[in-house]
DNA sequence: TTGTACGCGTTATCAA
DNA sequence: TTGATAACGCGTACAA
């Protein structure tokens, strides 16, 4: 059996109360007995039970980190940021996977509540209205990453999608492109709308008339396939550059280009979004809008800590950074 | 305040014992009161406290998943497998990051113990002797992924490194290569030794004399840089094919080749290990030895469940699969 | 069929 | 300076 404070009390010939105090350096206990008891605890291999402490204090010092899947290339670095800050603050992180499956989502919410987590961070999920409501019912602070939503307990850390798409589009414009395509993703309606907005804003500012043919919203499929389908923007509608919803889509497009002997970036410039690891490894390396994923995780957890300490917090819209690599280039004059 | 069984008891005019029983469908409680109480619990939004249950039963239904960093491309899919099986079995997963830092490792072990996790899975860590000892002290089942080690509580799921390297080398031999290099990684002494063994076994079987110059163990650095350095095997020692410790190393080598105008695979065949996501996206796509990462996670968690149910388990050495893509090719006759 | 009493390991209150 | 007692929320032996 595991050693408890009672065991130590027996061994020391004092009450378990004294042990509890001594171990936490309570000033009322004499230096001598404190030292003695701490030494004894060490010897006996005592480790306090967080379970008992939690029951007593109604705080578990745990948080729930909900992701659609940890295998999504966007997620791991965010998770690392969360876990790091949590660990330093004495919190532990439950990893919960929802798979964007309503049934699983309900299970997750229920589990979070049973576990009595002190707070929740939701990453890269579409938080539907029902799901969000269920989450709020738990009555603990919730931070949404890249998913603004309103509610008493809901807060958010998000990257500025509009700015990102605008920056990317302006980069293409500066390179002389005029027929710029956009490939969206219907599975992410909110971010998609924002990025589309940024794209359109940049075009408008440059007085480029918008061509609906250059906006492509592939039927829901995996992100990579969506990129493959987007080639039609180039083949059928003469796009000389394409802004993709995310890097996976961009890489999907890139691969299709290679299979079809379309030179990137000479014949077609491609730009992604996110800056996942793979973006730097493909060839040509992908120009993309970087989301500060590690920082987003850190900030989210920091926000949780502030909320738990009753500090006031404000939703954050973070800037990202355009990373220019080899997949975009000055348009060729003859085109 | 949260609803407890006592609240329900008061509302129903029965004892909390009856409530406890009714909620779990205890046969001794009349169908009528059971129904009534369950309905009441539902209405009042009752969710049992896992904390209290854990204290009572000395089981938390949690496991600790220890990784060096979740951002390692090898880890996420393993984690997904673990979490999935855990979730289905009613277990929750603590994500704990050790960063291969001895100090953090101690913190992690201490936290695991305080949290009273029922079991532990350690992924992609070098489990040093001290660390392993500390882990065993917790006295709960431990499954090591890709890291065999001996001990009363230690079990393992691992991929057959020897077979993997052998398969990869044989593939190169079958393509006509005779000067085949190996790039190892000193930060992973055990796997490295095994893969080197497989490589050597294949050469020996083919009666190729071994050239120590073709075995390169770069000074500890990040995996990608190690790959960059490995180019010397080709430039200085005329390797026509190189087997890399892992995909990151292989991709590092691939990139350096591109920068140095060395055509892959025409001038140099490259083969990786792991089959991380990026492997399929680089160009040429990487030939590599696939580790069944999702399955490894699932099996690890399944093994934990078996151990917790006192079933006997056996360490598993899993086969992997050679994935032939574009980075390896028949050697050119003129070479 | 239901209720009483106790214990899980810890902390807090009050008294000595 | 220390100890007895209760409480956190739940499950279980035993009694009714």
Per-residue pLDDT of B57-106, as tens digits, reads 999 999 999 999 999 999 999 999 999 999 999 999 999 999 989 899 99
CA B279 to C1' C16 (Å) is 73
Best mutation target, B59, B87, B223, B282, to test chain A (most A CBs within 10 A) = B87
pLDDT for residue B269: 97
- A287-290 and B321-323 beta bridge pairing: unpaired
Q: How far apart are the first and last CA of chain A?
A: 78
Nucleotide nearest to A56 (CA to C1'): D8
Assess whether B266 and B311 both reside in one domain: no
For the four alpha carbons of B309, B144, A51 and A115, in that order, the dihedral sign comes to: negative
pLDDT of residue B152: 85
B165/B155 same-domain check: no
Per-residue pLDDT tens over the stretch A77-119? 999 999 999 999 999 999 999 998 989 999 999 999 999 999 9
A133 and A234 together in one domain: no
Of A205, A234, A288, the closest CA to residue A197 belongs to A205
Å between CA of A46 and C1' of C9: 12
Are residues A94 and B97, on separate chains, in Cβ contact within 8 Å? no
* Whether A69 and B55 lie within 8 Å, measured CB to CB: no
User: What CATH number should be reported for the domain holding residue A39?
Assistant: 1.10.260.40
CATH number of residue A302's parent domain: 3.40.50.2300
User: What whole-number distance in Å separates Cα of residue B138 and Cα of residue A11?
Assistant: 22
Could you tell me if A201 and A219 lie in one domain?
A: yes
A299 and A274, same domain (yes or no): no
Rounded distance between C-alpha atoms, residue B11 and residue B31, angstroms: 18
Q: For position A300, what pLDDT does the model report?
A: 98
| B154 and B191 within one domain | no
Nearest C-alpha of chain A: how many angstroms from B89?
12
Residue A334 lies in a domain: no
A330 assigned to some structural domain: no
Q: How many domains does chain B have?
A: 3
Residue B130 has a pLDDT of 74
pLDDT score, position A1: 77
CB atoms within 10 A of CB B45: 10
For chain B, how are helix, strand and coil distributed in percent, rounded to 5?
45, 15, 40
Please judge whether B107 and A96 are an interchain contact, meaning their C-beta atoms are less than 8 angstroms apart: no
Q: Decide if A238 contacts A277 (C-beta within 8 A).
A: no
In a domain, A69, yes or no: yes
Peptide bond into A183 cis (omega under 30): no
**Together in a domain, B201 and B234:** yes
- Residue A95: exposure state from Cβ atoms within 10 A (0-12, 13-18, ≥19): buried
Q: Write out which nucleotides of chain D lie closer than 7 A to a protein Cβ.
A: 1-5, 7-13
DSSP one-letter string for A154-191: EEEEEE-HHHHHHHHHHHHHHTT--SEEEE--TTSHHH
Tell me the percentage of chain B whose pLDDT exceeds 90. Answer: 82
> Which of B48, B62, B70 has the CB atom closest to A80's CB atom?
B70
Instruction: State the pairing for strand pair A287-290/A321-323.
Output: antiparallel
What mean pLDDT comes out for the span B12-40? 93
B73 to chain A, closest Cα gap in Å: 9
Q: Which of A6-15, A115-124, A226-235 has the lowest mean pLDDT?
A: A226-235
Nucleotide of closest approach to B30 (CA, C1'): C1
User: Residue B143 and residue A220: Cα distance in Å, rounded?
Assistant: 39
- In this structure, the answer to whether residues B131 and B240 fall within a common structural domain is no
Q: Which residue has the tokens 């490295």?
A: B192
Which among B31, B37, B41 is positioned nearest to B4, based on CA atoms?
B41
B335: in domain: no
Determine contact, residues B122/B75, Cβ cutoff 8 Å. Answer: no
> What is the model's pLDDT at position A148?
74
Distance between CA A274 and CA B99 in Å, rounded?
A: 24
- For residue B55, being part of any structural domain is answered with no
CA distance A287 to A329: 10
Determine, yes or no, domain membership for B90. Answer: yes
User: What average pLDDT is seen over chain A?
Assistant: 94
In a domain, B53, yes or no: no
Strand bridging mode A62-67 / A92-97: parallel
- CA–CA dist B251, B244 (Å, integer): 9
A322: tokens are 């355009």
pLDDT over 80 (residue B45): yes
Q: Is it the case that residue A335 has pLDDT exceeding 50?
A: no
For B247-300, the pLDDT digits (tens) are: 999 999 999 999 999 999 999 999 999 999 999 999 899 999 999 999 999 999
Query: Within this chain, do residues B165 and B263 fall inside the same structural domain, yes or no?
Result: yes
Q: Do A49 and B55 touch (CB under 8 A)?
A: yes
Percentage of chain A modeled with pLDDT above 90: 82
Q: Is the CB of B22 under 7 A from strand D?
A: no
The reply to whether the CB atom of residue B17 sits less than 7 A from any atom in nucleic acid chain D is yes
A28 lies in the same domain as A72: no
pLDDT at A221: 86
pTM of the model: 0.95
Q: What is the pLDDT of residues A247-292, one digit of tens each?
A: 999 999 999 999 999 999 999 999 999 999 999 999 899 999 999 9
Residues of A in contact with B87 (CB under 8 A): 96-97, 104, 107, 111
B146-179 pLDDT per residue, tens? 987 778 889 999 999 999 999 999 999 999 999 9
Alpha helices in B58-145 (DSSP H): 75-88, 102-115, 129-137
Mean pLDDT of A113-137: 87
Residues β-bridged to residue B274 = B290
Across the interface, of B60, B69, B278, the residue whose CB is closest to A278 is B278
Residue A53 within a domain: no
- Domain co-membership, A182 together with A284: yes
Tell me: the pLDDT tens digits for B167-221?
999 999 999 999 999 999 998 888 999 999 999 999 999 999 999 999 999 998 8
Are A297 and A149 part of one and the same domain?
yes
Q: Across residues B8-29, what is the average pLDDT?
A: 93
Q: If you average pLDDT over residues A159-181, what whole number do you get?
A: 97
Contacts of B84 in chain A (CB under 8 A): 97
Please check whether residue B285 is in contact with residue B254, taking contact to mean a CB–CB distance below 8 angstroms: no
pLDDT at B335: 43
Structure tokens at B94: 């603590």
Domain that residue B31 falls in: 5-48
One-character DSSP codes across B265-282: TTT-EEEEEE--THHHHS
How many other CB atoms are found less than 10 A from the CB of residue A15? 13
């Amino acid at each position: 059996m595991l050693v408890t404070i009672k065991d130590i009390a027996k061994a020391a010939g004092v009450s378990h109360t004294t042990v509890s105090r001594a171990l936490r350096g309570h000033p009322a206990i004499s230096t001598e007995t404190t030292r003695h008891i701490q030494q004894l605890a060490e010897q006996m291999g005592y480790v306090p039970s967080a379970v008992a402490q939690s029951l007593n204090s109604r705080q578990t010092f745990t948080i729930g980190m909900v992701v659609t899947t940890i295998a999504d290339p966007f997620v791991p670095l965010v998770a690392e940021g969360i876990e790091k800050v949590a660990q330093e603050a004495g919190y532990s992180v439950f990893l919960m996977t929802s798979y964007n499956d309503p049934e699983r989502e309900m299970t997750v919410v229920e589990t979070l509540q049973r576990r009595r987590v002190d707070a929740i961070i939701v990453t890269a999920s579409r938080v539907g209205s029902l799901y969000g409501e269920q989450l709020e019912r738990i009555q603990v602070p919730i931070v949404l990453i890249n998913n603004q939503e309103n509610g008493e307990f809901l807060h958010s850390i998000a990257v500025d999608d509009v700015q990102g798409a605008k920056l990317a589009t302006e980069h293409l414009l500066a390179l002389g492109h005029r027929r710029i395509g956009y490939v969206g993703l219907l599975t992410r309606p909110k971010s998609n709308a924002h990025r589309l907005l940024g794209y359109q804003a940049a075009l408008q500012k440059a007085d480029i008339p918008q061509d609906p043919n250059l906006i492509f919203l592939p039927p829901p499929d995996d992100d990579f396939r969506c990129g493959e389908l987007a080639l039609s923007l180039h083949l059928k509608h003469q796009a000389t550059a394409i802004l993709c919803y995310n890097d996976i889509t961009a890489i999907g497009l890139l691969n299709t280009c290679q299979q079809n002997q379309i030179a990137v970036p000479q014949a077609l410039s491609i730009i992604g979004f996110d800056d996942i690891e793979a973006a730097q490894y493909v060839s040509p390396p992908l120009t993309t809008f970087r989301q500060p994923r590690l920082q987003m995780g850190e900030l989210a957890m920091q926000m949780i800590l502030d909320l738990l300490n009753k500090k006031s917090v404000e939703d954050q819209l973070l800037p990202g950074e355009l990373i220019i690599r080899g997949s975009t280039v000055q348009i060729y004059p003859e085109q």
